Amino acid sequence: MTAIKMTDSKTILDSMFDAESFRTVGHELIDLLAEELQRSLSAQRPVLNWRQPSTEDKSWQAPLPQQATLDLKALLKKLEADILPGNLAIHHPQNLGHQVATPLPVAALCDLVASLTNQAMAVYETGPSATMLERQVIRWLSTLIGWQMQEVNGVLTSGGAQANLTALLAARQHATGSNIWKHGVAAQRPLRILASEHSHYSISRAAGIMGLGTDAVIRIHTDSQGRMLPAGIARAHQDCLSKQETVMAVVANAACTATGSVDPLQEIGEYCRAHKLWLHVDGAHGASALLSARHRDLLQGLEHADSVIWDGHKLLYMPATVSAVLFRSAQDSYLAFAQDASYLFQGKNHEVETYNVSYRTLECTKRMMALKLWTAFSLYGVEGMATLVDEAFAKAQMFAGMLQVHPDFELLMMPQTNIVCFRHLTKGVSGEESNRHQADLRKRIVESGQFHLTQVELHGKLWLRTTLMNPFTQKEHLQALMDCIVSA
């Protein structure tokens, strides 16, 4: 572990790829990370060491090193002293912010395997094991939805936003029938997407990317529990028909980002079936409820979907990113993209071509994403993984119950999944002033480093928003948050 000598190219290369120093520093790195994990889980560090980004930025203005400035020992020190403490402590029981998984440590080890072996995965021969692991995982997730597939019917992608885009590209091709990929949308009747007013921004971003314009997304109202109204879908659909517009997809949430509400999938699915509309379900957050015998019913009707996305790095407790985009018909999984590239593909009739994942993804080089999911399911089974979902949902119910009976808080709704939204009530303060109060509270609490929580605006009202992801968050941590808000 000596500093790299810049004078001798053989020495440099030997040093870069030295297996022995990889082993030594690797062991030390794992020790360091295990300590950090323990510190976070047992709340022995702040959730966040808040530093003003503009100040922080100044300390990261070093010139690009032309020669080595660090050896491996110094790298470990830098990680320990600076980089890890500057992270949001994702495993901290008072980290209640976004829907980001507290990743399973074994899944992080799998990502190390993926990094070192660097399987490009564009075609089968650039990642044979990676391809087979992915096919296995896709089959498992489809089985959980209730689809018994003969063929592999989807792919893993880097993130839910890209997965939504992939599904909607397929829906667009399906709705138009002609070769949209070649001819574009100019000659088409206007294409529309009907989506919940709470749909994730990646839906309208996909409409923008597809050249439809974000106005092509027609927002459907939700009920008081944040669930899209099926009658609103029917009205918007009829309206589109009367204007000679084509509804290329209905997008339902399971669950929505803002409140964790799950749309009535059964009813929406029946409407879509009856009217031959493509149903896309954004299950980035909530599809994992399928693992749980206790919560599976929440997703009744999901099997009617034509496409479903599912994030591993949310309630499957994977490190980011790994998302699945799945299609009810395996053939539909080829609709999103159409490409000739002789340096990669060998022609549709070649026997290995169906194993080449690039036909179905935006990505060319693609990380080996399936190993961590395959490992987690193999080590813990669906039953073990369901414990994570059950814990998260139970904690959300508990927290909502605590807020509901406290005179200083207003609960938005009982959570359907693991997202809890609430406001702090102050006498005589309402409207804009109350919104400012919630935002100010959040800012102060986050910057204090005691908790991480988020906020969301719904119909002009600002709510504090917590996502109960961490299975080690206990009643006392939630009570401490309420006390902290009241005393703040």
Q: Per the omega criterion (within 30 degrees of 0), is the bond before 480 cis?
A: no
Return the SS3 of 96: coil
Q: How far is the CB of 285 from ligand PLP (least distance, A)?
A: 5
Q: How far is the CB of 101 from ligand PLP (least distance, A)?
A: 11
Residue 373 is a binding residue for ligand PLP (CB under 6 A): no
User: Judged by CB, which is closer to ligand PLP: 164, or 438?
Assistant: 164
Among 165, 220, 268, 284, binds ligand PLP (CB under 6 A): 284
Residue 323 is a binding residue for ligand PLP (CB under 6 A): yes
Which 234-263 positions form the footprint of ligand PLP (CB under 6 A)?
A: 257
User: Judged by CB, which is closer to ligand PLP: 43, or 228?
Assistant: 228
- The stretch near ligand PLP (CB under 6 A) out of 62-70, 108-116, 159-167, 412-420 is 159-167
Edge-to-edge strand ranges of the sheet holding 454-458: 409-411, 419-424, 461-467, 454-458
Number of alpha carbons in the 13 Å side-chain half-sphere of residue 304? 22
User: Judged by CB, which is closer to ligand PLP: 180, or 284?
Assistant: 284
- DSSP class per residue in 324-365: EEEESSGGGGGSS-----TTT---TTSTTGGG-GGGG-S-SS
| Interaction mask 375-414, ligand PLP, x per CB under 6 A | ----------------------------------------
CB 94 within 8 Å of CB 42: no
- The stretch near ligand PLP (CB under 6 A) out of 157-165, 174-182, 215-223, 379-387 is 157-165
- The stretch near ligand PLP (CB under 6 A) out of 265-273, 281-289, 335-343, 437-445 is 281-289
Which 175-214 positions form the footprint of ligand PLP (CB under 6 A)?
A: 200, 202
Return the SS3 of 75: helix
Return the SS3 of 62: coil
Among 103, 127, 160, 269, binds ligand PLP (CB under 6 A): 160
Among 161, 175, 248, 386, binds ligand PLP (CB under 6 A): 161
Q: How far is the CB of 253 from ligand PLP (least distance, A)?
A: 6
> How many other CB atoms are found less than 10 A from the CB of residue 22?
14
User: Judged by CB, which is closer to ligand PLP: 111, or 311?
Assistant: 311
The rounded distance, in Å, linking the Cα atoms of 303 and 422 is 33
Find, among 114, 203, 134, 142, the residue nearest to 361 by Cα: 134
Residue 367 is a binding residue for ligand PLP (CB under 6 A): no
- The stretch near ligand PLP (CB under 6 A) out of 42-50, 112-120, 158-166, 432-440 is 158-166
Residue 138 is a binding residue for ligand PLP (CB under 6 A): no
Q: Which amino acid is at 109?
A: L
CB 278 within 8 Å of CB 237: no
CB 301 within 8 Å of CB 264: yes
Quote the distance between the C-alpha of residue 238 and its chain's center.
Answer: 33
429 contact partners, CB below 8 Å, separation of at least 6: 437
Return the SS3 of 458: strand
184 contact partners, CB below 8 Å, separation of at least 6: 211
- The stretch near ligand PLP (CB under 6 A) out of 187-195, 278-286, 334-342, 474-482 is 278-286
User: Judged by CB, which is closer to ligand PLP: 323, or 473?
Assistant: 323
Q: Token match 């529990």: residue?
A: 225
- The encoded tokens of residue 206 equal 């996909």
CB 165 within 8 Å of CB 362: yes
- The stretch near ligand PLP (CB under 6 A) out of 35-43, 282-290, 299-307, 419-427 is 282-290
- The encoded tokens of residue 151 equal 């063929």
Tell me the pairing of strands 461-467 and 154-157: unpaired
Helix then strand then coil, in percent of the chain rounded to 5, is: 45, 15, 40
Residue 264 is a binding residue for ligand PLP (CB under 6 A): no
Which 98-127 positions form the footprint of ligand PLP (CB under 6 A)?
A: 99
User: Judged by CB, which is closer to ligand PLP: 212, or 287?
Assistant: 287
Which 285-304 positions form the footprint of ligand PLP (CB under 6 A)?
A: 285
Residue 416 is a binding residue for ligand PLP (CB under 6 A): no
Question: How many binding residues for ligand PLP (CB under 6 A)?
Answer: 14
Residue 166 is a binding residue for ligand PLP (CB under 6 A): no
Among 245, 306, 311, 363, binds ligand PLP (CB under 6 A): 311
- The encoded tokens of residue 352 equal 């290995």
The rounded distance, in Å, linking the Cα atoms of 332 and 275 is 18
Q: How far is the CB of 255 from ligand PLP (least distance, A)?
A: 7
- The stretch near ligand PLP (CB under 6 A) out of 1-9, 110-118, 168-176, 279-287 is 279-287
Q: How far is the CB of 484 from ligand PLP (least distance, A)?
A: 25
Find, among 201, 311, 220, the residue nearest to 272 by Cα: 220
Site for ligand PLP, rule CB under 6 A: 99, 159-161, 164, 200, 202, 257, 282, 284-285, 311, 321, 323
